[in-house]
């Protein structure tokens, strides 16, 4: 009888250990899966888009026109949800009023004009993933295509992606004059400071125009 | 009062006579030669063209050529930018006195042969209607202007501005000024630049563009990019639909607030590692608890 009881106890211990082991494995797999899937899902498309074969090249720089469509194929951004941004009363860049809209800073250059065409969108807002949620996954060499309201599309090539502290924002590099048509994409990044409900950094994508076509 | 007026009138007449006397020697130089075949040539020669006789005849002794303000005797430089040259034959000089608040004025009743001598007065009661004017000996100012005969108004000589004029109330300035309605734009540009200087800070968008429309030479450089629109920066000053928006020339300052941390998309690697550690800790704790319960059992 005692032998039977010990045997049952040993079986229960073995079952508990196995259960715990399974749980640990499941937890580790979940963490690894989260990290892996999270890392790969940000880049959802090709770095370089297939441009229309029959396109007609347009000489740069261009005159002023508003933005009709913005595409970042490498991270799956393709939006016509656009707005124009100015400055707030404390001279900060306005931001779109919802999560997914991309704003163009009207104090800067239009797409294809000499100077930096500056776009900003949220990384997240109101519980919704923002228009530039994956911007930090853009890499040098990626294409950004901006279609203008006059039908001309400007193709930009990304030069670099930087994460910069908001309290040391590179104002001149982002907004300052450039020798040709350039691009700046801005969103939030880095640690989120819950006390001030703000991210500590900005992610800034720098690019330059390589061609324009219609 | 009446005595003052009389003495003033007498002074004006005397000044006019002196002016004519001084100018008289120059008149002979401008006498018509008889070869003139049209009114313009005749006028340029200082004569008077008779349509009935179809010939040019010398005018009376008061007729003069039009000296430029630079004291040149040239009379045929009407086309020179910045000058308004008038050739006027004048026979009878009548000096009257108008009731003005700012000027004691002299009116010459001349026989105009040039459009530039036409005058008008759109400003209620103050009238300055000097047909012709200004030589060195005839400095015309706002007060006690005197009358001589033909003159060339030169852009360099602002003392002659008030003659040969249209008077009206300016909408752009608080005072009443006297304008020469026939002077070329370049002349006006120089005049205004000399006497006044306004910029976009002092004008509304509409005022600035009204000035530019009035004088396309843009004497105040209100249209610096020469696109035909003055003071563009003030174009939307009065727009209600721009309420809340501020246009700044300078760059935006500081970082951009493009996130509220409301999703996990901003989770950093550190946050993920902490989460993994928490899971592992829970697992280890569970293992310990299970062992103890097994031993007790």
Most confident of A169-178, B43-52, B169-178: A169-178
Question: CA B208 → CA A36, B21, B202, B213, B221, distances in Å?
Answer: 63, 46, 9, 9, 10
Instruction: Give the per-residue pLDDT at B230.
Output: 86
pLDDT of residue B295: 74
Which residue did the predictor score with more confidence, A131 or B135? A131
How high is the pLDDT of residue A133?
95
Q: Does the distance separating the beta carbons of A202 and B258 come in below 8 Å?
A: yes
Topology of A43-213 in CATH?
Answer: Sortase; Chain: A; (2.40.260)
Q: Which tokens hold the place of A162?
A: 């930087």
Q: Which residue has the higher pLDDT, B131 or B67?
A: B131
pLDDT digits (tens, 9 = 90+) for A42-92: 788 999 999 999 999 999 999 999 999 999 999 999 999 999 999 988 889
Separation in Å, CA of A167 to nearest CA in chain B:
6
Whether B140 has a pLDDT exceeding 90, the answer reads: no
Kindly list the residues from chain B whose CB atom is less than 8 angstroms away from the CB atom of residue A194. 261
Average pLDDT (B74-101) is 33
Q: Point out the residue among B260, B272, B293 whose CB comes nearest to the CB of A197.
A: B260
Q: Does A56 touch chain B (CB under 8 A)?
A: no
**CA distances from residue B67 to B73, B108, B135, B243 in whole angstroms, order as listed:** 5, 18, 7, 58
Using one digit for the tens of pLDDT, what is the confidence trace for B169-197?
334 443 444 444 555 666 666 656 655 67
B174 in contact with A, Cβ within 8 Å = no
Contacts of B248 in chain A (CB under 8 A): 87, 91, 107
Which stretches within A43-117 are classed as H helix?
A: none
- What is the mean predicted confidence (pLDDT) over B108-135? 36
Tell me the chain B residues in contact with residue A189 when contact means C-beta distances shorter than 8 Å: 266
Give the Cα separation of A101 and A118 in Å (integer).
14
Q: Per the CB < 8 Å rule, is A188 touching B258? A: yes
The answer, yes or no, to whether residue B133 has pLDDT greater than 70, is no
Residue B201: pLDDT band (50, 70, 90) is confident
**Between A27, A122, A169, which is nearest B258 by CB?**
A122
Contacts with B281 from chain A: Cβ below 8 Å: none
- Average pLDDT value for residue range A153-180: 94
The alpha carbons of chain A give a radius of gyration, in whole angstroms, of 24
E strands present in chain B = 47-50, 55-58, 83-85, 120-121, 152-154, 166-169, 176-179
Range with top average pLDDT, A10-19, B43-52, B207-216, B278-287 = B207-216
Q: Residues A106-137: pLDDT tens digits?
A: 999 999 999 999 999 999 999 999 999 999 99
- B245-296 pLDDT tens trace: 444 568 898 899 999 888 864 455 555 666 667 777 777 777 777 777 777 7
| pLDDT attached to residue B216 | 83
B39 or B108, which is more confident: B39
Interface size, chain A vs chain B, as Cβ–Cβ contacts under 8 Å: 156
- Compare CB distances from B262 to A19, A34, A125 and report the shortest one's residue: A125
The residue with greater pLDDT, B297 or A139, is: A139
Q: How confident is the model at residue A206 (pLDDT cuts 50, 70, 90)?
A: very high
Task: Please judge whether B272 and A175 are an interchain contact, meaning their C-beta atoms are less than 8 angstroms apart.
Answer: no
Q: How far is CA B266 from CA A39, B37, B77, B274, in A?
A: 12, 92, 78, 15
CB contact residues (below 8 A), chain A span 17-36, against chain B: 17, 19-20, 23-24, 27-28, 30-31, 34-35
Give the distance, in angstroms, between the CA of residue A52 and the centroid of all CA atoms in the same chain.
25
Whole-number percent of chain B with pLDDT over 90: 1
pLDDT for position A165: 95
Cis peptide bond N-terminal to A61, omega within 30: yes
State the average pLDDT over residues B109-113. Answer: 35
Of A124, A171, A197, the CB nearest to B263: A124
Residue with tokens 């005197």: B146
Average pLDDT over residues B229-234: 81
* A198 contacts in chain B (CB < 8 Å): 257, 259-261
Task: Determine the 3-state secondary structure of A90 from DSSP.
Answer: coil
CB interface of A with B, residues 72-111, below 8 Å:
86-93, 95, 105, 107
Chain A residue whose CA is closest to B267: A191
pLDDT band at B202 (very low <50, low <70, confident <90, very high): confident
For residue B54, what pLDDT is reported?
74
Q: Is the pLDDT of residue A196 over 90?
A: no
- Most confident of the ranges A145-159, B129-143, B250-264: A145-159
Instruction: Give contacts of A191 with chain B, Cβ < 8 Å.
Output: 268, 270
| Chain A contact set for B283 (CB, 8 A) | 20, 23-24, 27
Angstrom distances, CA of residue B245 to CA of A26, A94, A121:
53, 9, 19
- The alpha-carbon gap from B282 to the nearest alpha carbon of chain A, in Å, equals 9
pTM: 0.45
User: pLDDT tens digits for B15-24?
Assistant: 444 444 434 4
Q: Confirm whether the ipTM is greater than 0.85.
A: no
% chain B with pLDDT above 70: 29
What are the residue boundaries of the structural domains of chain A, listed by start? Answer: 1-41, 43-213
Alpha-carbon gap: A140 to the closest alpha carbon of chain B (Å) = 21
Cα–Cα distance for residue pair B21/B11, rounded to 1 Å: 15
Q: Kindly state the tokens that stand for B115.
A: 């459009």
pLDDT at B163: 39
**pLDDT at res. B224:** 82
Helix (H, G, I), strand (E, B) or coil at B142: coil
What are A2-46's pLDDT values in tens digits? 556 666 666 776 776 777 777 777 767 666 655 555 544 578 899
């Amino acid at each position: 009888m005692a032998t039977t009881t010990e045997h049952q106890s040993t079986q229960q211990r073995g079952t508990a250990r196995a259960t715990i082991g399974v749980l640990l494995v499941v937890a580790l797999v979940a963490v690894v899966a989260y990290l892996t899937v999270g890392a790969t899902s940000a880049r959802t498309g090709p770095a370089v888009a297939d441009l229309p074969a029959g396109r007609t090249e347009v000489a740069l720089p261009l005159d002023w026109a508003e933005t009709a469509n913005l595409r970042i194929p490498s991270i799956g951004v393709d939006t016509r949800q656009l707005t124009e941004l100015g400055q707030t009363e404390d001279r900060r860049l306005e931001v779109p009023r919802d999560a997914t809209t991309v704003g163009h800073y009207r104090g800067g250059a239009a797409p294809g004009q000499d100077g930096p065409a500056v776009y900003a969108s949220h990384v997240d807002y109101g519980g919704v993933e923002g228009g530039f949620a994956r911007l930090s996954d853009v890499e040098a060499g990626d294409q950004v295509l901006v279609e203008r309201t006059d039908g001309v599309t400007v193709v930009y090539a990304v030069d670099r992606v930087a994460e910069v502290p908001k309290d040391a924002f590179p104002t001149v590099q982002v907004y300052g004059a450039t020798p040709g048509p350039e691009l700046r994409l801005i969103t939030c990044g880095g640690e989120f400071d819950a006390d001030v409900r703000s991210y500590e950094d900005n992610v800034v994508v720098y690019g330059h125009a390589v061609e324009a076509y219609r | 009062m009446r005595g003052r007026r009389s003495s003033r009138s007498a002074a004006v007449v005397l000044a006019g006579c002196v002016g004519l006397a001084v100018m008289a020697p120059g008149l002979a130089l401008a006498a018509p030669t008889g070869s003139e075949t049209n009114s313009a040539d005749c006028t340029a020669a200082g004569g008077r063209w008779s349509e009935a006789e179809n010939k040019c005849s010398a005018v009376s002794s008061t007729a003069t050529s039009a000296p430029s303000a630079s004291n040149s005797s040239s009379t045929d430089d009407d086309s020179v930018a910045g000058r308004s040259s008038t050739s006027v034959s004048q026979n009878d000089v009548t000096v009257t006195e108008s009731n003005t608040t700012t000027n004691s004025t002299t009116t010459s009743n001349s026989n105009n042969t040039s459009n530039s001598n036409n005058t008008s007065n759109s400003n209620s009661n103050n009238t300055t209607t000097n047909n012709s004017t200004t030589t060195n000996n005839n400095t015309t100012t706002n007060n006690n202007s005197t009358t001589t005969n033909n003159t060339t108004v030169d852009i360099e000589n602002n003392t002659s501005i008030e003659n040969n004029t249209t008077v009206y109330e300016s909408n752009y300035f608080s005072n009443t000024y006297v304008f020469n309605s026939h002077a070329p734009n370049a002349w006006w540009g120089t005049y205004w630049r000399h006497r006044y200087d306004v910029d976009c800070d002092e004008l509304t968008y509409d005022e600035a563009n009204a000035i530019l429309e009035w004088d396309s030479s843009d004497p105040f450089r209100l249209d610096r990019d020469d696109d035909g629109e003055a003071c563009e920066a003030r174009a939307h000053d009065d727009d209600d639909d721009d309420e809340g928006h501020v246009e700044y020339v300078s760059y935006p300052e500081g970082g951009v607030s493009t996130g509220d941390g409301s999703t996990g998309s901003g989770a950093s690697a550190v946050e993920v590692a902490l989460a993994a550690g928490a899971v592992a800790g829970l697992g280890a704790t569970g293992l310990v608890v299970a062992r103890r319960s097994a031993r007790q059992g």
